[in-house]
Amino acid sequence: MVRGSFQRLKNNSVELLSVVSALIIWQVTAVYIVQNKFFLPSFTDVAQAFIITVSRQGVFPFLSMNLELPVLLVDTLYSLMHFSIGLVAALAIGIPVGMLMGWFRSVERVFDPLIEIVRPIPPLAWIPFAIIWIGLNPFGAGFVIFIGSLFPIIINTFTGFKSVPRIYVEAAKVLGCNTDRELMRRVAIPSALPSIAAGVRIAMGVGWMCLVAAEMFGVSRNGLGFKIWHNYYLHHMDFVLVYMLVLGFLGLLIDRLLRSYLEDKFFKWRTGVVM
């Protein structure tokens, strides 16, 4: 066991050295060059702020109970709730629309000009309408994340369906798949899955980046994005960095989990896949 741990450490020595070097440079720069915690808190300042944040307690309402949890966990749960609302809505609408656009030319002609007009509008520009249409509640934050996540899913699903090799379709027809439903189910969807999965990963990244803005307009008093701005107003920049790093690590974890799930569930037939 010790030998195995040593071997794993040796195999990851370059990555470990890179992270340690970055932390040393950060600490030296903050303490000896910048010398101002407001402009750049040191690594040790952020570590202390992290310990304080973890030790604080918060309340998370669940069903009819008020669960007392570490405040960092409460903020994380709120952010995941906002993120899930937006992403699930984007998946539920984006994948079917992309599939229909990619398979039926008439649907593409109807939706393509509308999407091309709306798609360049930044998700943050929709915040005023999120407040007016939905209000200051978790669904308002979810709406902004939905806007950010929707178009990568539509575009990648559409591209995947458009790229289905014609020979696959013709071969399926020879073998008895004659309806659009059968062809989409047995040929187009399996062929387009890598593109759809790539779109979902891009959408998750964009939606996660929209989270800070989605929580800054007062949808709740909790959330990772909300706490970044809250601590900024208090000039607690070490706490700001704590929440920024939590956002980064959590986003990385979500992406790795999704990638692992997709590869185990749908792409076992592929070897050396690069996603």
For the stretch 79-98, pLDDT in tens is: 999 999 999 999 999 999 99
Alpha carbon distance 98, 68 (integer Å) = 43
Asked whether the predicted pLDDT for residue 271 surpasses 60, the reply is no
Residue 274 has what pLDDT? 47
Alpha carbon distance 76, 176 (integer Å) = 50
**What is the band of 213 on the pLDDT scale with cuts at 50, 70, 90?**
confident
The answer to whether 230 and 215 have CB atoms below 8 angstroms apart is: no
**What is the band of 3 on the pLDDT scale with cuts at 50, 70, 90?**
low
**What is the band of 51 on the pLDDT scale with cuts at 50, 70, 90?**
very high
**What is the band of 142 on the pLDDT scale with cuts at 50, 70, 90?**
very high
Residue 82 has what pLDDT? 92
Lookup: tokens for 119: 């798609």
Q: What is the residue whose two structure tokens read 């440079």?
A: 25
Residue 149 has what pLDDT? 93
Lookup: tokens for 32: 């000896």
Lookup: tokens for 140: 């308002």
CB burial of 142-160 (b: ≥16 within 10 Å; e: otherwise) equals: bbbbbbbbbbbbbbbbbbb
Strands (E), the chain: 57-62, 65-70
Mean pLDDT over each residue of the chain, to the nearest integer: 87
Residue 216 has what pLDDT? 81
Asked whether the predicted pLDDT for residue 46 surpasses 90, the reply is yes
Alpha carbon distance 271, 262 (integer Å) = 13
**What is the band of 9 on the pLDDT scale with cuts at 50, 70, 90?**
low
Asked whether the predicted pLDDT for residue 272 surpasses 60, the reply is no
Task: Please state the rounded mean pLDDT for residues 203-225.
Answer: 85
Residue 16 has what pLDDT? 87
pTM for this structure? 0.83
Lookup: tokens for 118: 């709306």
Alpha carbon distance 209, 161 (integer Å) = 27
Task: Please state the rounded mean pLDDT for residues 226-240.
Answer: 91
Asked whether the predicted pLDDT for residue 4 surpasses 90, the reply is no
Residue 275 has what pLDDT? 46
- Percent of the chain with pLDDT strictly greater than 90: 41
Asked whether the predicted pLDDT for residue 5 surpasses 70, the reply is no
Q: Side chain identity at 3, as an amino acid letter?
A: R
Lookup: tokens for 111: 């939706």
Lookup: tokens for 104: 């039926």
Question: N- to C-terminal Cα distance for the chain?
Answer: 32
Alpha carbon distance 226, 217 (integer Å) = 8
The answer to whether 78 and 211 have CB atoms below 8 angstroms apart is: no
